[in-house]
Copies of this chain bind each other. A is one copy, B any other.
């Protein structure tokens, strides 16, 4: 018998299609990605090609090593931004039409100078620098009064929507708070009203106690497959300390997140044949950074299945993997 599970945080019912479920191994990618060179003279993110991007907004030198490139991580404005960094925020209203000028920030964070060094293979040290860059840009852009919400995300592979192979992440600062964020804040606030605690803290406690869906537990972060995971190997990484905003993560936490995230990506890479994936950091809007009821987290979505008409037509999801089996499988993939 299939089962419907309710995601208390997103308010989505998910069909866990037991009868149609595939074994975790079956999601492994059949075709390996084509090998890339360590350096591509055409790539705007490769060292030496810095003039192909707008001037950097951040550059970190490597923390260690000899004879390496001059920068290890580099943030630059997107050359073809979805939103314009220049201009005033103007609201327009006419009949049912509501528009805003498309003002905001769209940056790219180049994670490594090495063209073929996929994110899953970064060292902990290197991953800390990537997270440092995320956080520094997040904090700086929070000061732009036109920006209401900052979304940090990564697209890995064509099915995840990337067009450039050189490992990079992106950040978009929008002048509005997306409806989905507002809805989740509201849901979490209701829970806080009724229960007097953070819905996410409670979820993490319950998941840790039950253990069946936990993949990795560090000192400060826990990675687990949600009870009502939307798709196979969908994973959340929650900070253990209550905090609504990514900006508030401290240095010890950053080190732990780097290790957990890097190991999670490595498990996907080794266990499922380097599948395409997205991850994103879901933080409260920065003007609500101190609220007691919302909790920031990182969400990883391997793109091993496709959204079809049912998902588009109802907003519901059918997951053809059992969350407990996905978690067990990922736990079993060895990493350091």
From 292 to 336 in chain A, residues with beta carbon under 8 angstroms from any chain B beta carbon are 299, 301, 306-310, 312-316, 318
CA distance A102 to B316 in the complex (A): 13
Closest to A92 in B: B3
Complex contact B5–A314 (CB within 8 A): no
Most central of A12, A84, A87, A102 by chain B CB within 10 Å: A102
Whether A309 pairs with B4 at a CB distance below 8 angstroms is no
A149 beta carbon closer than 8 Å to chain B:
yes
The yes or no answer to A252 lying at the interface (CB within 8 A) is no
Pair A4/B176 contact, Cβ less than 8 Å: yes
| Chain B residues whose CB sits within 8 angstroms of the CB of A313 once the complex forms | 151-153, 278-282, 299
Q: Per-residue 0/1 for A261-276: is the Cβ within 8 Å of any B Cβ (1 yes, 0 no)?
A: 0000000000000000
CB nearest neighbor in B for A158: B306
**Minimum C-beta distance from A305 to chain B (A):** 8
Question: Does B202 contact A316, Cβ atoms closer than 8 Å?
Answer: no
- Asked if residues B154 and A309 are in contact (CB atoms below 8 Å), the reply is yes
278-294 of chain A: CB within 8 A of chain B? 278-282
Please report the C-alpha to C-alpha distance between residue A84 and residue B20 in the assembled complex, in whole angstroms: 11
A309 adjacent to B1 (CB under 8 Å): no
Inter-subunit contact B179/A82 (CB<8 Å): no
State whether the Cβ of A223 lies closer than 8 Å to any Cβ in chain B. no
Which stretch in A28-36, A62-70, A120-128, A159-167 binds the other chain? Answer: A159-167
Contact in complex: B301, A312 (CB < 8 Å): yes
A336 CA to B80 CA, complexed, in Å: 40
Q: Which residues of chain B have C-beta atoms less than 8 A from A280's C-beta?
A: 309-310, 312-314
Q: Contacts of A100 on B, CB cut-off 8 Å?
A: 3-4, 13
Interface residue A6 (Cβ < 8 Å from any Cβ of B): yes
Contacts of A307 in B (CB 8 A): 161, 307
B181 touches A20 (CB 8 A): no
Q: Does A192 contact B (CB under 8 A)?
A: no
Q: In chain B, what residue has the closest Cβ to A100?
A: B4
Most buried by B among A80, A203, A315: A315
Are B19 and A80 closer than 8 Å at their CB atoms? Answer: yes
16 A-B pairs besides A1-B102, A15-B82, A161-B307 with CB distance below 8 A are A1-B87, A2-B81, A2-B82, A3-B100, A4-B100, A8-B98, A17-B102, A20-B81, A82-B310, A158-B306, A170-B309, A178-B314, A279-B313, A280-B309, A280-B312, A307-B307
Sample of 17 A–B contacts (CB below 8 Å) = A1-B101, A6-B98, A12-B179, A13-B100, A15-B82, A16-B102, A18-B102, A20-B81, A82-B310, A95-B206, A149-B314, A151-B316, A153-B312, A180-B315, A181-B314, A278-B312, A299-B312
- Sort A-B residue pairs by CB-CB distance and give the 10 closest, nearest first: A280-B313, A161-B308, A2-B102, A180-B315, A153-B309, A278-B309, A6-B98, A4-B100, A151-B314, A153-B313
